[in-house]
Structure 1
């Protein structure tokens, strides 16, 4: 089955992503949303048919995901989705807190209000996707919002560090939270962050970001 959305992530260096990169992003989104499960083995031809593309870019994309530690190669069979330990999730959350909270809070002083307001449709898309239970759209919009904010800080390396951390962590609890109706609580925090930034309230931004990352870690721990 083809994915419902084509990932619309921030471009690297302003260039258009290659077909291989787009396939890799679609596979990451499916993995994060729980459509590709830890421990299961997937073949490139099988995934190609599922996503409506040819096997070659899927095979290349899965090799990229293997380099990131998201999958392992299984000779003559395909790729096995790797599991993430609780210790790893705690470490990823800690690093994200060290990087994202002060950087985002600092934008309350430095960011152009017009650039911040331009992210409102993305923040609203997160809420809409959560309400609809569209997990892939949620993941894509959530990533676009957070990386969009960090891009305003002007440090491309920082953006890539956070992108990599998010790829490695994966939000395994999203499916359960959506079913319980709890995903919308986290989704609405994106609008809170944006409003606090536009109000130039650095401490409020820091508080909401701290709460938000705590919810994110809770998602990872959800059954």
Structure 2
């Protein structure tokens, strides 16, 4: 097979995909408030586009669970109930501690290095105050551990929680200093992985995820 020294053409996003990304980022950045009622018309006007791509994007966001329909009024950002937060944290602790138990006997230096590189990228995102990039990298860090452990069914469950976990993560990052704490907690988990210390790694992961829950409570209690 002949290999040419050319750069592959990047796929151009459709208007619907651009609209979807813009609304999703607005939700995660808090630019659309949780108690704010929006409509497809308002979104189309704000984005300076027609209603067709907005309607299609909204359909996907409703499926993703990021928006909910308010009868006879419009749409609003999905609000995660205290019970749902508890369930998400419970599932994540169960899945991710199991992933650590499975991966520790087989984790490689290259995999450890990759986790450290993700943390360094998180540090850059923190310096740039890029919360969306920070959360994306946070989720990548956690999913990589499950991937390395080859716990693919558990990984699928974690992926299904992805957007709801992002909503929780963005709420948690509203707490002053939480980004720095997350980086330090991730580093501690990696150190325990490198030392092959199962008990310490699982304990640190559980504390890390519970700290996210506590951070949300602090922010909401303001």
Q: Which TM-score applies when normalising by structure 2?
A: 0.75
Following superposition, the deviation at residue 200 of structure 1 comes to 1.7
Aligned to 1:9: none
Q: Which of residues 44, 48, 67 is equivalent to 2:63?
A: 67
In 2, the alpha carbon distance for the partners of 1:117 and 1:56 equals 45
Aligned to 1:129: 125
Residue pair 2:172, 2:212 contacting (<8 A) in 1 also = no
Higher relative contact order (CA 8 A, sep 6+): 1
1:168-193 Cα offsets, whole Å, 9 max, x none, are 2422534531xx22331122211222
> Is residue 2:106 matched to residue 1:110?
yes
Listed as ranges, the matches of 1:1-16 within 5 Å are none
In 2, the alpha carbon distance for the partners of 1:26 and 1:122 equals 25
Structure 1 stretches lacking a partner, 5+ long:
1-15
Following superposition, the deviation at residue 78 of structure 1 comes to 5.3
Q: Which of residues 165, 186, 190 is equivalent to 2:186?
A: 190
Larger-Rg structure: 2
Three-state SS of the structure 2 residue aligned to 1:80 is strand
* Cα distance, 1:37–1:157 mapped onto 2, change above 3 Å: farther
Aligned to 2:151: 155
Residue pair 1:107, 1:152 contacting (<8 A) in 2 also = yes
> Is residue 2:142 matched to residue 1:146?
yes
In 2, the alpha carbon distance for the partners of 1:52 and 1:145 equals 36
Listed as ranges, the matches of 1:1-223 within 5 Å are 24=20, 27-44=23-40, 47=43, 56-73=52-69, 79-169=75-165, 170-171=167-168, 172-177=170-175, 180-221=176-217, 222-223=219-220
In 2, the alpha carbon distance for the partners of 1:28 and 1:144 equals 18
Residue pair 1:71, 1:82 contacting (<8 A) in 2 also = yes
Residue pair 2:99, 2:151 contacting (<8 A) in 1 also = no
Equivalent pairs counted in the alignment come to: 205
What is the alpha-carbon root mean square deviation over aligned residues? 3.1
Q: Which TM-score applies when normalising by structure 1?
A: 0.75
In 1, the alpha carbon distance for the partners of 2:148 and 2:17 equals 23
* Cα distance, 1:45–1:200 mapped onto 2, change above 3 Å: farther
Three-state SS of the structure 2 residue aligned to 1:148 is helix
Following superposition, the deviation at residue 48 of structure 1 comes to 6.5
In 2, the alpha carbon distance for the partners of 1:150 and 1:89 equals 21
Residue pair 2:122, 2:134 contacting (<8 A) in 1 also = yes
